[in-house]
């Protein structure tokens, strides 16, 4: 192992070879998840009696992959009467709602299994129970003060749960339920009775990896095992037809795929369906076994994603203009610590992406709001409703902050939920200004001024001999890198030998480090327009592999630079 890689691992808390071996056999045991034994009992009974099971998903990539894992996995385990339902963002709202339950009545399910939702679905669970359905909630979101009245709840973040990794994504929770169910069915001799081969559930691990990376959960050791196994399956050409097609549409080489490709190429195409259309398209792509059908669906998703990107760009530009006007009139110092933005023309399926971009620009928590009613939405109860999505900065727990707002202003928030770094909520349109003031008040109390200063953490400087293809290759596949296990970045001082603009918005450089024998190529994507670099600069960068016509070359991927 290269000394630089050892240094990188040490900085991320890796203290033992076990932390980076990433063996599936080293996964935390399913038995530690609370509620999993009862959930397995309910699913086993449904399978044995031929009861109809409906998976209730969610309209993001974690929910889509969790739905696909549930359907594929339960089929492998012998379920015969199995289907899924995913809420439509425009008609049903989020998760297991009374509206989705009402639509499911005609399908006469006996057992509902939620994936990536349900922990806050008190009304939806009650509606399902009132109609004689059993409900299993599998979720990973933080619960509120009370839990819904489901027949079983499997969620590592329920208070008192013994499962030591609280970072499982929704797809990870469902995968764990399948692992536990297979063990139970094995003990009960189900596979022998049915004369079916006990399934190898690792065939689902590519979907688990995709959902885990897409949901930006921390890549602790347990999640890294799941993601690494999924990436290896994809690189070996054994992933499902849908992921293969999505990778092809994104013009990536599956044999060289890394976690960031899942996050920036594959996941946005899945997410676009839930943001602008119907997540059923994304789920069908992930369930497709025919490569032609998978490619057709992937191309449709890519087209929707292109529409989403343009819509997002327009909304981000509008948000930046609003912030610019604010700072011009009142000064940067008057900018709220907790920023709330609302535009009556925004699309509520894209506000989370707007909040993310503004959070990066302002380095403070941002909540972006849009009307809940779209042209295709004729619900009268949505006409005065606003849906919002927020993104936070390190040290400011967004979901807890919303809980604080809710406690101080009862009834202001109609619904809310989420994580430390991301959350969603609904409120009345007339209450947006009141909410903005309340949210900023909480942020003022919880965020110290120093925390608003943008900081880039790096792995330090590289020696002149460290600018090598060998180290770049090791770093590329030494992850998986992602949330909570950051991709290695370095910093150093360089002389700028030459530079040019490419594709109108990117910049290519030839840089020479102090003491370096040879200059090295570098690129910075989406560089500022009209920005000319100085003769010497300090840059934050990662080592990257540039492939051209089958030849690998070292290049630096610049993330930030400043003159020296």
Coil, strand, or helix at residue 379?
Answer: coil
Contact in structure between 137 and 114 (CB atoms under 8 Å): yes
* CATH number of the domain within which 419 lies: 3.10.310.30
**Alpha-carbon gap, residue 434 to 512, rounded angstroms:** 54
* 91 has pLDDT over 80: no
Asked which of 201, 229, 244 is the last residue of a domain, the reply is 201
CA 203 and chain centroid, separation: 21
Q: Which residues pair with 302 in a beta bridge?
A: none
Whether cis (ω within 30° of 0) applies to the bond prior to 329 is no
Percentage of residues of the chain with pLDDT beyond 70: 97
What residues make up the domain containing 349?
336-452
Asked which of 147, 182, 201 is the last residue of a domain, the reply is 201
* Tokens encoding 197: 């081969």
Mind listing the pLDDT tens digit for each residue in 367-414?
Answer: 999 998 754 444 445 568 999 999 999 899 999 999 999 999 999 999
Looking at the fold, whether 428 and 474 belong to one and the same domain comes out as: no
Contact in structure between 168 and 138 (CB atoms under 8 Å): no
* CATH number of the domain within which 473 lies: 2.40.50.460
* 218 has pLDDT over 70: yes
Indicate whether 244 belongs to any domain: no
Sequence-distant (6+) residues with CB within 8 A of 381 are none
* 90 has pLDDT over 80: no
Looking at the fold, whether 63 and 83 belong to one and the same domain comes out as: yes
What is the total residue count of the chain?
564
Name the nearest CA neighbour of 270 among 247, 293, 292. 247
Looking at the fold, whether 181 and 73 belong to one and the same domain comes out as: yes
pLDDT at site 528: 66
CA 435 and chain centroid, separation: 26
**Alpha-carbon gap, residue 243 to 298, rounded angstroms:** 9
* 180 has pLDDT over 60: yes
* CATH number of the domain within which 132 lies: 3.90.1640.30
Name the nearest CA neighbour of 61 among 211, 257, 273. 211
Looking at the fold, whether 521 and 380 belong to one and the same domain comes out as: no
Task: Kindly provide the residue ranges of all beta strands, DSSP E only, lying in 337-448, ordered along the sequence.
Answer: 339-342, 366-371, 385-391, 413-418, 422-428
pLDDT at site 383: 62
Name the least confident of 132-141, 280-289, 416-425: 416-425
Asked which of 143, 172, 201 is the last residue of a domain, the reply is 201
Burial of 44 (0-12, 13-18, 19+ CB in 10 A): middle
Give φ, ψ of 503 to 5 degrees. Answer: 50, 35
Average pLDDT over residues 291-301: 97
What secondary structure letter does DSSP report for 530?
T
**Alpha-carbon gap, residue 4 to 11, rounded angstroms:** 11
**Alpha-carbon gap, residue 259 to 232, rounded angstroms:** 11
Q: Kind and range of the H or E element at 67?
A: helix 61-76
pLDDT at site 377: 45
Q: How far, in Å, are 154, 156, 185 from residue 34 at the CA level?
A: 6, 7, 19
Looking at the fold, whether 547 and 406 belong to one and the same domain comes out as: no
Name the nearest CA neighbour of 213 among 145, 252, 267. 267
Indicate whether 7 belongs to any domain: no
Looking at the fold, whether 415 and 558 belong to one and the same domain comes out as: no
Provide the Cα torsion 159, 397, 426, 114; round to 10°.
Answer: -40
Indicate whether 533 belongs to any domain: yes
pLDDT at site 455: 87
Name the nearest CA neighbour of 209 among 164, 162, 257. 257
Burial of 302 (0-12, 13-18, 19+ CB in 10 A): middle
Looking at the fold, whether 376 and 356 belong to one and the same domain comes out as: yes
CA 51 and chain centroid, separation: 33
Mind listing the pLDDT tens digit for each residue in 425-443?
Answer: 999 999 999 999 999 999 9
* 421 has pLDDT over 80: yes
pLDDT at site 529: 63
Looking at the fold, whether 192 and 53 belong to one and the same domain comes out as: yes
Indicate whether 91 belongs to any domain: yes
Q: Kind and range of the H or E element at 244?
A: helix 241-249
CA 280 and chain centroid, separation: 18
pLDDT at site 546: 87
* Tokens encoding 225: 């095992």
Average pLDDT over residues 287-301: 97
Sequence-distant (6+) residues with CB within 8 A of 377 are 90, 91
pLDDT at site 85: 95
* 504 has pLDDT over 90: no
Task: Kindly provide the residue ranges of all beta strands, DSSP E only, lying in 93-198, ordered along the sequence.
Answer: 111-115, 134-138, 152-154
Contact in structure between 491 and 538 (CB atoms under 8 Å): yes
pTM of the predicted structure, to 2 decimals: 0.91
**Alpha-carbon gap, residue 54 to 12, rounded angstroms:** 41
Mind listing the pLDDT tens digit for each residue in 525-557?
Answer: 988 666 788 999 999 999 999 887 778 899 999
Looking at the fold, whether 504 and 553 belong to one and the same domain comes out as: yes
- Pick from 87-101, 262-276, 526-540 the range whose average pLDDT is largest: 262-276
Indicate whether 258 belongs to any domain: no
Contact in structure between 101 and 127 (CB atoms under 8 Å): yes
Indicate whether 535 belongs to any domain: yes
Domain count, the chain: 3
Looking at the fold, whether 427 and 486 belong to one and the same domain comes out as: no
pLDDT at site 374: 52
**Alpha-carbon gap, residue 435 to 427, rounded angstroms:** 8
Indicate whether 10 belongs to any domain: no
Average pLDDT over residues 147-162: 97
Indicate whether 238 belongs to any domain: no
Name the nearest CA neighbour of 85 among 109, 49, 62, 61. 109
Looking at the fold, whether 515 and 414 belong to one and the same domain comes out as: no
* Tokens encoding 187: 């003990």
* Tokens encoding 167: 């970072």
Average pLDDT over residues 131-151: 95
Name the nearest CA neighbour of 541 among 515, 517, 518, 507. 507
Name the least confident of 15-24, 126-135, 326-335: 326-335
Q: Share the mean pLDDT of the chain.
A: 93
Name the nearest CA neighbour of 96 among 119, 80, 65, 77. 119
* Tokens encoding 195: 């004369």
Looking at the fold, whether 96 and 136 belong to one and the same domain comes out as: yes
């Amino acid at each position: 192992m290269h000394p630089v890689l050892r240094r990188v691992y040490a900085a991320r808390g890796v203290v033992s070879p076990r932390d980076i071996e990433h063996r599936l056999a080293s996964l935390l045991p399913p038995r530690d998840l609370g509620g999993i034994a009862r959930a397995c009992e309910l699913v086993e009974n449904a399978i044995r009696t031929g009861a109809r099971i409906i998976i209730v998903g969610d309209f993001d990539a974690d929910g889509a992959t969790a739905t696909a894992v549930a359907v594929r996995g339960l089929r492998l385990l012998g379920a015969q009467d199995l289907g899924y339902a995913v809420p439509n963002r425009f008609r049903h709202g989020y998760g297991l709602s009374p509206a989705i339950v009402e639509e499911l009545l005609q399908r006469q399910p006996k057992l509902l299994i939620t994936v990536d939702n349900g922990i806050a679905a008190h009304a939806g669970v009650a509606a399902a129970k009132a109609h004689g359905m059993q409900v299993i909630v599998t979720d990973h979101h933080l619960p509120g003060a009370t839990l819904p009245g489901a027949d079983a709840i499997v969620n590592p973040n329920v208070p008192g749960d013994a499962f030591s990794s609280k970072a499982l994504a929704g797809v990870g929770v469902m995968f764990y339920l399948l692992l536990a169910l297979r063990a139970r069915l094995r003990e009960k001799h189900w596979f022998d009775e049915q004369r079916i081969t006990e399934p190898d559930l690792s065939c689902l691990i590519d979907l688990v990896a995709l959902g885990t990376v897409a949901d930006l959960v921390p890549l602790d050791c347990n999640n890294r095992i799941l993601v690494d196994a999924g990436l290896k399956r994809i690189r070996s050409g054994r992933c499902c037809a849908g992921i293969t097609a999505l990778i092809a549409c994104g013009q990536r080489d599956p044999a060289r795929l890394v976690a960031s490709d899942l996050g920036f190429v594959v996941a946005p195409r899945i997410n676009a369906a839930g943001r602008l259309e119907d997540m059923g398209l994304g789920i069908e792509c992930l369930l497709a076994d025919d490569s032609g059908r998978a490619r057709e669906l992937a191309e449709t998703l890519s087209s929707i994603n292109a529409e989403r990107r343009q819509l997002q760009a327009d909304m981000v530009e509008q948000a930046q203009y609003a912030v610019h006007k604010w700072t011009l009139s009142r000064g940067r110092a008057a900018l709220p610590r907790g920023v709330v933005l609302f535009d009556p023309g925004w699309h509520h399926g894209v506000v989370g992406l707007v909040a993310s971009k503004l959070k990066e620009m302002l380095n403070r928590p941002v909540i972006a709001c849009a009307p809940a009613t779209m042209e295709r939405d004729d619900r009268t109860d949505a006409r005065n409703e606003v849906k919002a999505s927020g993104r936070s900065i390190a040290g400011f727990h967004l979901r807890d902050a919303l809980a604080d707002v809710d406690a101080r202003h009862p009834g202001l928030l109609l619904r809310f939920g989420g994580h430390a770094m991301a959350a969603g909520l609904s409120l009345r349109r007339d209450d947006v200004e009141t909410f903005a003031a309340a949210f900023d008040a909480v942020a003022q109390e919880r965020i110290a001024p120093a925390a608003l200063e943008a900081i880039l953490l790096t792995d330090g400087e590289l020696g002149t001999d460290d600018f090598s293809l060998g180290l770049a290759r090791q770093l590329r596949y030494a992850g998986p890198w992602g949330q909570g296990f950051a991709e290695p970045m370095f910093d150093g001082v360089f002389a700028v030998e030459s530079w040019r603009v490419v594709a109108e918005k990117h910049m290519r450089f030839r840089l020479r480090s102090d003491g370096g024998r040879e200059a090295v190529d570098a690129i910075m994507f989406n560089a500022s327009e009209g920005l000319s670099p100085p003769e010497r600069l300090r840059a934050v960068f990662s080592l990257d592999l540039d492939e051209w016509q089958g030849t690998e070359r070292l290049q630096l991927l610049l993330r930030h630079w400043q003159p020296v």
